[in-house]
């Protein structure tokens, strides 16, 4: 890799972060005017987060990519570092692994347009840094390994985590908005 390419990649990543940070400051100022005891959580980085199925009415919605402003600021440097490592290691063609996420999400939606194998489930998908998180509720008979294999077959997916429960009122294998920490 040439020095100029590396500098351009860092500049693009830095500018993207600065734009996101400026947007976050503006949004915080607006929400700060009507501050309340509730901590605002947002998808600051616009990571793909969507339901894949929705058959279990009382299934707690996963926290997904929602975070507080403080968490976003704390995660910003680490996120840039994680995103560029893939490219620097010559494992990605795009300069940041998060750039793959919208295409991965679109491929997942297309692949699961016919929800076969998802009967009786409520599963949400989060895509971050080429990692796919499938979280939600499914009957005890649900074949999580098959879902994992189907998601791993999506182009550019690096890793898949399937966290589902058959008991939505019991301990959950994922964080929710009600109890994120």
Q: Convert the pLDDT of each residue in 128-141 to its tens digit.
A: 999 999 999 999 99
Cα-flanking dihedrals φ and ψ of residue 4, to 5°? -60, -40
Rounded average pLDDT over 62-74: 94
pLDDT value of residue 11: 40
Task: Provide the token pair at 5.
Answer: 């390419």
pLDDT value of residue 46: 95
pLDDT value of residue 2: 44
Instruction: Identify the residue whose tokens are 């975070």.
Output: 67
pLDDT value of residue 13: 41
As to burial, measured by CB atoms within 10 angstroms (0-12 exposed, 13-18 middle, 19+ buried), residue 81 is exposed
Please, what is the angle between helix 3-32 and helix 69-88, to 10°? 170
Q: Which of 154, 171, 173, 153 is nearest to 163 (CA)?
A: 173
> Where are the extended beta strands (E) located within the chain?
49-54, 122-128, 131-137, 159-165
Of residues 45 and 16, more confidence is placed in: 45
pLDDT value of residue 121: 96
Instruction: Identify the residue whose tokens are 């908005």.
Output: 177
pLDDT at 37 over 70: no
Neighbours of 24 (CB within 10 A): 17
pLDDT value of residue 116: 83
């Amino acid at each position: 890799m040439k020095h100029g390419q590396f500098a351009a990649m860092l500049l693009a990543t830095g500018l993207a972060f600065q734009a996101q940070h400026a947007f976050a400051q503006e949004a915080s100022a607006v929400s700060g005017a009507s501050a309340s005891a509730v901590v605002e959580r947002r998808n600051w980085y616009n990571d793909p987060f969507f339901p894949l199925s929705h058959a279990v009415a009382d299934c707690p919605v996963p926290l997904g990519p929602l975070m507080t402003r403080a968490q976003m600021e704390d995660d910003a440097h680490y996120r840039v570092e994680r995103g560029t490592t893939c490219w620097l290691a010559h494992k990605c063609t795009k300069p940041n692994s998060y750039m793959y996420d919208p295409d991965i999400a679109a491929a997942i939606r297309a692949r699961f347009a016919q929800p076969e194998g998802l009967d009786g489930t409520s599963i949400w998908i989060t895509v971050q840094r080429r990692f796919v998180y499938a979280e939600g509720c499914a009957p005890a008979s649900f074949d999580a390994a098959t879902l994992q294999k189907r998601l791993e077959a999506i182009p550019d997916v690096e890793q898949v985590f399937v966290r589902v429960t058959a008991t939505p009122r019991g301990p959950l294998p994922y964080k929710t908005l009600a109890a994120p920490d």
